[in-house]
A and B are shown apart, each in its own frame.
Chain A
Amino acid sequence: MKVWLVIVGVGAVSLLLRASSLVLLRGRTLPPGLLNSLGLVPAAVLSALVVPELLVHGGDFRPLGPRLVAGVAAALIAWKTRNVLWTLLGGLGLLFGFEALGWR
């Protein structure tokens, strides 16, 4: 049941935001100051998602783990290639390698 509430809730929010100016506000747009701050949201949200995944594992703060090394390497690949596939393969490959060597 909760799964379907998540599906419908996320779907409704996504559609309403996409339709906000195009359909719902029809002819009016949001204030420029608000739109300006929206430009910062992706950087802030994505960083809040990524950084803890690299530094915290199993609930403990672990500054120098294999996930940090693999993640930083993946960020360099992303920066150089701008390619999602290479970023994924590089990061996952390194983490698999580290775990195979017993570093976890």
Chain B
Amino acid sequence: MPLVPGVLPFSMVAGIAAVQVGFTPLESVMFSVIGYAGSAQLIAAQLYGAGSPLALIVLSSLVVNLRFAMYSASLLPLFGGVPNRVRWPLAYLMTDQAYALTMGRPDTETDPVPYYAGAAVPMWLTWQTGTAVGALLGARIPPEWPLDFAVPLSFIALLVPVLRTRPQLLAAAVSGAAAVAAHGLPFRLNLILGAACGVAAGLWAQQAERRRTGAQA
């Protein structure tokens, strides 16, 4: 439950952002229920507002959600013996927070599946409540308020904790610089270009680090 206060404002921003680019409140809520994709929801709304083509919007959500493939792989050993009809809903409920809590669960919790569900279901309820409230509020906010700034601020709150290693820092620096340099591209293609440059730079730094530590050992 300590994660709820962090998720609620973020989900409200997602609801407000969707309404501000032209989603109806019903569409915003359905987007949250079907997509349930945090940052991908915000990015998709921004790209939709910029008039980006559908393929680019879906591609961006793929890039942003790639980390779920990593979570899915590392949760697999914990879910042995769970039938597929249960795995689908468990997969649908996957979030950064539920993943982190489950991986960091205390040793006394021997059965990870109820633990995961106990973390994931309240997260889902909080997210859906927050986006619904945001979608309803969003229609009433005066357009001259610089509330669009809440979206990059939400990303800053997500970005700071993932900058832990030197390759991650380099990936962020290169990606940000490339995205600014390419800001003139249409449909916010600078997002994809910047991210690709950043991951390439981060991979290079990882390899350089491995060579260095390998040489010492």
Contacts and interface: CB of A to CB of B under 8 A. Distances in A.
A38 to B, nearest CB: 4
Interface residues of B, number: 93
B34 interface: yes
Interface string B175-195: 111111001100000110111
Interface of A is mostly: helix
A91 B153 CA distance: 7
Nearest to A96: B146
A27 B84 CA distance: 12
Interface string B37-62: 10111011000100000100110011
B61 A9 contact: yes
B179 A21 contact: no
Contact of B152 (A11, A39, A54, A85): A54
Contact of B175 (A13, A44, A82): A44
A84 B75 CA distance: 26
Contacts of A20: 68-69, 72-73
B167 interface: yes
Interface of B: 5-10, 13, 22-23, 27, 30-31, 34-37, 39-41, 43-44, 48, 54, 57-58, 61-73, 75-76, 79, 84, 87-88, 90-92, 94, 145-147, 149-163, 167-169, 171-180, 183-184, 190-191, 193-199, 202-203, 206
Interface in A46-65: 46-56, 59, 61
| 3 residue pairs, one from A and one from B, having the closest CB atoms | A44-B198, A51-B176, A48-B194
A52 to B, nearest CB: 5
A12 B190 CA distance: 24
